[in-house]
Structure 1
């Protein structure tokens, strides 16, 4: 009896690998950990604002952040060890239907004053945990597109055969996310899918890739037009939600309505200006005390700039630059179209969040409410991006091993 119990424990421990696989990219791993640890420190600092009202809430926020970091790391290592294209092909559709069910479940929960029913809330003893399924959908779409391209790449098939399942899943996801509504997430999901579609070189896709490339250019130009003075007059004639119009107007002139649509943006700019080059010092931000209600999430970059100045900006930019560079580096070294989509798709995913978050906080583009990955608080975004990094490391490990044979 004891021998059987010991053998079962050994089997469980051997299956639960907590080390990265052979030939993983150490530099990518190192800078991901640096960004996560740095982000956690900034989340702890931003959470101090709640201490004046409730010390317990600060303790809970810190414990939740630590728990999410540990769990996200385990997810990353697990995907790095066990992800394969074959398993993704085998279970992809089932996982996709599970995500559809989870997105539908969000409508059973109140928006809690956020204006969006995008979260599933799990009650605990003294707090609750919020899970945002749409964050994981971004990674799923990268993988499902890679799997389908890899499956049909050597075959003479129509373009629809290659993109059928990704398009169907995207359409259902987009409808549910728009219904929540969460247009920031929908914009990123759409951009990721569009950019991933441009990567494969299958001959039947070329014509449609050219059309999509033009659509992307037109969409970017249109958004930039809306942020101009001429675009402000167009906004009144475009059917959009009021808060979306407000964000466009605030990006053009946040000081036009300081106590309304421009309130958060103006205080974010004050935080960045207060920090200057040297910063006020770690934990010494003033804007987090009642001025920025989303200090630990959407506006974590502003708090980082206020407290650490150019040093905080350097850490974030360097970390993001190394992570994206390593992903693109291996994408250019592989002949596998599926691996290329996973690596480039993950790089796009991280870069888009970086651009939209920092661009929104600084007023260069309309605020979308997306988190700064690795840095902002929020368990779903951290678990999602760490899962994507784990999948990328699994791919990198195979690319490096294949290059030695």
Structure 2
């Protein structure tokens, strides 16, 4: 066969769009499992406080349903539209989203509700509350991927990484003011995206050391954060270690197969707001080690599908978006489990898709829609 014949044969091949239904199924499974666990962990307190055992379940369910519809719609939109200039405003949507994230982070510092000593929520009246830091995560993923995609070869030098970091620094500083855990997640997204795009990896050891030093200094010079380290080291004797200690009791009492769904004792007021960040401890109590490992395996499968999309993405921008979402979910799962098991000092980080929080689950579903959009642009020959 001549070269011309091979070219003609290649031209006649039919390529089809790929859509990662495995990722879609895993996402829907985690959302549904989260709703079951939210009802299990919150029914007692919801009945006691609001007179309706399904109060938190219904609120989360409505937002999750809206998030699923948003995910399906976003998944059918070409992700490359986010960095193309709008014909009317002459500005890229990714830049608008980044500016909006900074605006809301400033707004929450001015008018935000102060809960447990931190301003993280904006009151929306009957609609509930809005946490701008969740919007900032998806804004950071798209913006960092966009900046890196503009000149990926500059990341071969430390100066290139510093350049990207300076673009993200305003958002990171505003978030770190009241929400160190989210700042850690976004910093991890920044480092991992740059690490993947860079051909030279050696200087990242210096970056890691610098970030650890900055984080340690930030913790030690802020009173209540330094106190959390003290509580972590003496959780059995410190009064503020009560929540973590009760969570450890829940994990220990679950055994191998758990006490049964809905049969947790620690959720009956012993673990404050057990449907939020500490929900993994109740999963361990009710479903045991078996259930906890099963959920971790589901997250690993989800991360694996994100990895597959990243390495098969049609361009660098799509690959970096998938890497950013992968990092977001992986770091958040690791931090949540580490806090619940007292492997690190306490910080307010929810379990993705499972912990109660309307803004969190909605934004996560939108992120998954964007990654599904990347998968939809992958072409394959049947």
**In structure 2, the residue corresponding to 1:198 is in which secondary structure?**
helix
8 Å contact kept, 2:37–2:354: yes
> Number of matched residues?
360
Give the distance between the partners of 1:156 and 1:314, measured in 2 at CA: 37
CA contact (8 A) 1:252 1:363 kept: no
After superposition, residues 38-187 of structure 1 pair within 5 angstroms as 38-51=33-46, 53-56=48-51, 58-89=53-84, 90-124=92-126, 128-153=127-152, 167-179=165-177, 181-187=178-184
Q: Does 1:251 align with 2:249?
A: no
Deviation at 1:134, TM superposition (A): 1.0
Write the distance in 1 (CA, Å) between the matches of 2:298 and 2:194.
Answer: 27
What CA deviation, in whole Å up to 9, does each residue of 1:355-382 have, x standing for no partner? 1000010011112210000110101111
2:270 alignment counterpart = 291
1:261 aligns with 2:258: no
Tell me how far 1:328 sits from its aligned partner: 0.9
1:156-189 Cα shifts (integer Å, max 9, x gaps) = 999878985x54552221222133x111111111
Structure 1 residues 208-241: Cα deviation after superposition (integer angstroms, max 9, x where no partner)? x533333215656998xx8xxxxxxxx9x97432
**Post-superposition offset of 1:25:** 0.7
Q: Which residue of 1 aligns with 2:4?
A: none
Tell me the equivalent position of 2:327. 348
Deviation at 1:244, TM superposition (A): 1.6
Q: Pick from 369, 374, 384: which aligns with 2:363?
A: 384
Deviates more, 1:306-315 or 1:273-282: 306-315
Q: Which residue of structure 2 aligns with residue 4 of structure 1?
A: none
Q: Does 1:216 align with 2:213?
A: no
Shift of 1:146: 1.8
Checking the alignment, whether the CA contact within 8 Å between 1:356 and 1:367 is kept in structure 2 is no
Identify the residue that residue 381 of structure 2 maps to in structure 1: 404
Choose from 223, 234, 250 the match for 1:271: 250
Q: CA RMSD in A?
A: 2.9
- What are structure 1's unaligned runs of at least 5 residues? 1-20, 227-234
Going from structure 1 to structure 2, the CA distance change for 1:169 and 1:221 (only over 3 Å counts) comes to closer
The CA deviation at 1:344 is 1.4
CA distance in 2: counterparts of 1:379 and 1:26, whole angstroms: 24
Distance, in Å, in 2 between the alignment partners of 1:153 and 1:240 is 36
Contact 1:49 1:289 in 2 (8 A): yes
CA, structure 1 residues 289+276, in 2 after alignment: closer, same or farther (shift >3 Å)?
A: same
Q: 1:65 to 1:151 in 2, by over 3 A?
A: same
2:34 counterpart of 1:31:
no
Aligned to 1:282: 261
Q: What's the TM-score once normalised by structure 2's chain length? A: 0.85
With over 3 angstroms needed to count, the CA separation of the structure-2 counterparts of 1:176 and 1:57, relative to structure 1, is farther
| Contact preservation (8 Å) 2:236, 2:245 | yes
**1:67–1:335: structure 2 CA closer, same or farther, 3 Å change rule?**
closer
Give the SS at the match of 1:48.
helix
The alpha-carbon distance between structure 1 residues 211 and 59, as it changes in their structure 2 partners (threshold 3 A), is: same
Range with bigger deviation, 185-194 or 100-109 = 100-109
1:404–1:160 CA distance, 2 compared to 1 (3 A): farther
Would the aligned equivalents of 2:46 and 2:56 in 1 still touch at CA under 8 Å? no
